[in-house]
Amino acid sequence: MSSNRGGQEQNVFWETSMESMIEDYRYVDAINIAHSGQTKVTLFRYGTGSVSHKRRLEESWRIEEVDFNIWGLSKDCFLAPADLKKEHE
């Protein structure tokens, strides 16, 4: 990204990196499924006339329920079991 302030061209660059870790594999109906994971993202902004900024974001997730052939879902859809119960109440 570049801008022209006061007749001088200023360039700003963004560097991104992402690292994911998937773990806690368990077999459900003979299919090995990861039940938790974590993703870390780093955004770094730098360039001429730019104040350098570095940001780090982290996301962790965990699957509590796994089931197959849930009533009402096509093969192209996924809905968490807790959400399915709410629709029928």
Whether the predicted pLDDT of 35 surpasses 60: yes
| 45 Cβ contact list (under 8 Å, min separation 6) | 12, 13, 14, 15, 52, 53, 54
List, in sequence order, every residue forming a beta bridge with 14; answer none if it has no partner. 45
**How far is 16 from 87, CA to CA, in rounded Å?**
40
Whether the predicted pLDDT of 64 surpasses 80: yes
Q: How many CB atoms lie within 10 A of CB 28?
A: 13
Whether the predicted pLDDT of 87 surpasses 70: no
Whether the predicted pLDDT of 19 surpasses 80: yes
pTM of the model: 0.54
